[in-house]
Structure 1
């Protein structure tokens, strides 16, 4: 039975956690005390602040601003601004021109005045370079950022984020930089065909697992990002760890649990995943597998997924929802294909969107898509042909979760649309 969610832990009877009311009353008593005894208890260490022994504070001479100087004492003056140095110099010259009541200046006063005049001259000489530096700092050349820190200028015809300038959730100022960063980050997560290194697994078993994960995503009503991330984590884990076929479902369900914690606002609990596995695994096994996946991936699970790039690129051409859904159908079907595991997510997303655009007769790979994706139509050709070959192959009646999902009216029944002709597709790739 799943644990209830949202319940806060309560303190058990006899707990040593102090009550909030008692703490508040103690704070109020401390606030009402105006003066405390300065004598420490017998044997207690002396009270000290960070810099001064407060028990000897009466011996420390502290000068305060605005306090009158005692006669006969000389204090050093330090100025840090041009205006202060100028006023000091004027006061020094004024004092040097004044004489005592007897009409003469004492020798000590004369020496002090000469030294202060020299100090004032030095301050004036130093002030000139400071003013020059301030003027240079405000010049247009100094205000320009270094080349590597300057923001990339986006041509007006390729700007798709300015329309969201008032929506802070869309991050219009950083959207292009964010997706460029994700695209560069893909290089860290490039995989190869790891199936030959698995002693008891094959591509058909992996396809069955992903077909089951699609059903889990539907039953739990999870985000599509959760499904894609779970598949990515499963592939990266299988690429590094040999897994027996009987434990493959445990790997997939645990990867979905970790992805849910990463993507969902309210992820399913452990007992929910044990239930969908028909209690084939114990709770301790699932938690142990979770730790194994995270350690194997070095806790770096923010893997770029095709789904995010697909939504970004569809926005470039203002694709309608049915066109985007068709591209999502192609992209989700590509998850089951082992030959597409080594391909980058941004490249797969671009290929699926191109196929959807050509199917809907909305044009090919336009310049704005080339700008934001960084791919030419020739770069997409191998992946497009591989996806087309996968879609044109005879369907497997055992693996119909994705096709049934996208045959629903909610998804515009895009799975029932006829596949476009290969000649039309090749023409779009060559243009």
Structure 2
């Protein structure tokens, strides 16, 4: 029997500036400045703007103020007359203008081009909402949720699953069997609960054990050392304050020395080539439950089903994302909360038919009689803190088959 410590477990702007004063003069918006020496702007006719008469007068006044030579009134009048004659010649050369009445009638007779119906249809298509619910839109202002990159992150983790595909390895282990692995995982669940570690740490530690056993031979006397060292590595990867080495030596009842644990840590990392960012089902499960807007009780039920699979050797080659999606769908069915939605299909990448086979196996796992040596998961989720979800009966096999045949599963 693997000893465990008796540590008590605790469950789980903008600043609006004062708008400047703007007055509307005809079709012009003129911004008044209180510091202007001429004061506010005055209305003026358009034809006065065509001449430089005012400019010349302003220049004369400026030259007078600056103490320049005085200009006689006759010279000023002659210059104004010359400018006016030039403007008259320019207007005559431009040719006769059409009467205003004809211009107005031409504008009225001009047919209005009706809006094309195709353009309206295109606009409607653009406004039409997508078939799925944008679950990250409401969390864009929270920088800790990384809502902008959330889907890209999980798509990347789903692609990484192909790199960590596991196959049967127990036949390569001369001194181990499936029951020993199940007992080790059961003990690791107790360690996670006693140290109050994250569930991601537990899932990652089990993955590290499986990937190490798939590449290296381990004897039964060092199997517990392998499990405790895997938890230490996973805790360093995921926890803010991971337990120290002495804590892991204590939970092993001082069966191993400090040098042995550190040596096993180096051995595991080198065997896995220091690539320990393995996608785990628990991360996908939390993401998918959020996309389904499931409550905490439904998520806890799905977590219970998913955690039961950690002890089962026949589930090691299932991809983490598919396993999480199947556990969530089975939990939704057990709680009678509907089935697979377009939103879940979009964010998971799985159709409901892709999950039928795995759902059947998970439901049978809930039906199976628990081993007397493997009680940690069922005892843990039978507590009130976890809504006693371990006591919820599984779906009837015939009822599940009927629901799987429906198109709205």
Pick the aligned partner of 1:410 from 385, 392, 404: 385
Q: How does 1:126-205 map to 2 (within 5 A)?
A: 155=130, 157-205=132-180
- Which residue matches 2:258? 283
- Give per-residue Cα distances to partners, 1:352-383, cap 9 Å, x unaligned: 00110000001112221111111111211221
User: Does the aligned pair in 2 maintain the 1:355–1:425 contact within 8 Å?
Assistant: no
User: Does the aligned pair in 2 maintain the 1:158–1:371 contact within 8 Å?
Assistant: no
- Which residue matches 2:348? 373
Change (3 A) 1:368 1:157: closer
> How many angstroms does 1:156 deviate by?
6.4
> Given the two structures, how large is their TM-score scaled by the length of structure 2?
0.67
Pick the aligned partner of 2:329 from 320, 345, 354: 354
- Give per-residue Cα distances to partners, 1:71-126, cap 9 Å, x unaligned: xxxxxxxxxxxxxxxxxxxxxxxxxxxxxxxxxxxxxxxxxxxxxxxxxxxxxxxx
> How many angstroms does 1:429 deviate by?
2.7
Q: Which has the higher contact order (CA 8 A, sep 6+)?
A: 2
Distance (whole Å) between structure 1 residues aligned to residue 371 and residue 388 of structure 2: 19
Does 388-397 or 287-296 show the bigger shift? 388-397
> How many angstroms does 1:427 deviate by?
2.9
- Which residue matches 2:190? 215
Distance (whole Å) between structure 2 residues aligned to residue 349 and residue 427 of structure 1: 22
Distance (whole Å) between structure 2 residues aligned to residue 183 and residue 408 of structure 1: 32
> Given the two structures, how large is their TM-score scaled by the length of structure 1?
0.63
Distance (whole Å) between structure 1 residues aligned to residue 269 and residue 347 of structure 2: 32
Would you say 1:313 and 2:288 are equivalent positions?
A: yes
How many residue pairs match? The answer is 278
Would you say 1:298 and 2:273 are equivalent positions?
A: yes
Three-state SS of the structure 2 residue aligned to 1:304 is coil
Distance (whole Å) between structure 1 residues aligned to residue 384 and residue 181 of structure 2: 28
- Which residue matches 1:235? 210
Distance (whole Å) between structure 2 residues aligned to residue 155 and residue 234 of structure 1: 42
User: Does the aligned pair in 2 maintain the 1:305–1:345 contact within 8 Å?
Assistant: yes
Three-state SS of the structure 2 residue aligned to 1:261 is helix
Distance (whole Å) between structure 2 residues aligned to residue 389 and residue 157 of structure 1: 32
Pick the aligned partner of 1:392 from 347, 367, 386: 367
Three-state SS of the structure 1 residue aligned to 2:197 is coil
> How many angstroms does 1:351 deviate by?
0.7
Distance (whole Å) between structure 2 residues aligned to residue 191 and residue 361 of structure 1: 33
Q: How does 1:243-262 map to 2 (within 5 A)?
A: 243-262=218-237
Distance (whole Å) between structure 1 residues aligned to residue 374 and residue 188 of structure 2: 11
Distance (whole Å) between structure 2 residues aligned to residue 306 and residue 294 of structure 1: 21
Structure 1: gaps of 5 or more residues: 1-153
User: Does the aligned pair in 1 maintain the 2:132–2:342 contact within 8 Å?
Assistant: no
Distance (whole Å) between structure 2 residues aligned to residue 360 and residue 424 of structure 1: 14
> How many angstroms does 1:386 deviate by?
1.7
- Give per-residue Cα distances to partners, 1:325-348, cap 9 Å, x unaligned: 000000000111111100100011
Larger radius of gyration: 2
> How many angstroms does 1:384 deviate by?
1.4
Distance (whole Å) between structure 1 residues aligned to residue 220 and residue 180 of structure 2: 8
User: Does the aligned pair in 2 maintain the 1:381–1:429 contact within 8 Å?
Assistant: yes
User: Does the aligned pair in 2 maintain the 1:351–1:384 contact within 8 Å?
Assistant: yes
Distance (whole Å) between structure 1 residues aligned to residue 132 and residue 209 of structure 2: 40
User: Does the aligned pair in 2 maintain the 1:364–1:428 contact within 8 Å?
Assistant: no
Distance (whole Å) between structure 1 residues aligned to residue 312 and residue 402 of structure 2: 25
Distance (whole Å) between structure 2 residues aligned to residue 388 and residue 160 of structure 1: 29
Would you say 1:424 and 2:399 are equivalent positions?
A: yes
Distance (whole Å) between structure 1 residues aligned to residue 174 and residue 308 of structure 2: 26
User: Does the aligned pair in 2 maintain the 1:211–1:399 contact within 8 Å?
Assistant: yes
- Give per-residue Cα distances to partners, 1:46-85, cap 9 Å, x unaligned: xxxxxxxxxxxxxxxxxxxxxxxxxxxxxxxxxxxxxxxx
> How many angstroms does 1:416 deviate by?
0.9
Structure 2: gaps of 5 or more residues: 1-128
> How many angstroms does 1:261 deviate by?
0.3
- Give per-residue Cα distances to partners, 1:304-336, cap 9 Å, x unaligned: 000000011101111010000000000000111
User: Does the aligned pair in 2 maintain the 1:313–1:350 contact within 8 Å?
Assistant: yes
Distance (whole Å) between structure 2 residues aligned to residue 375 and residue 240 of structure 1: 30
Three-state SS of the structure 1 residue aligned to 2:226 is helix
> How many angstroms does 1:155 deviate by?
3.0
Distance (whole Å) between structure 1 residues aligned to residue 327 and residue 237 of structure 2: 26
Does 284-293 or 362-371 show the bigger shift? 362-371
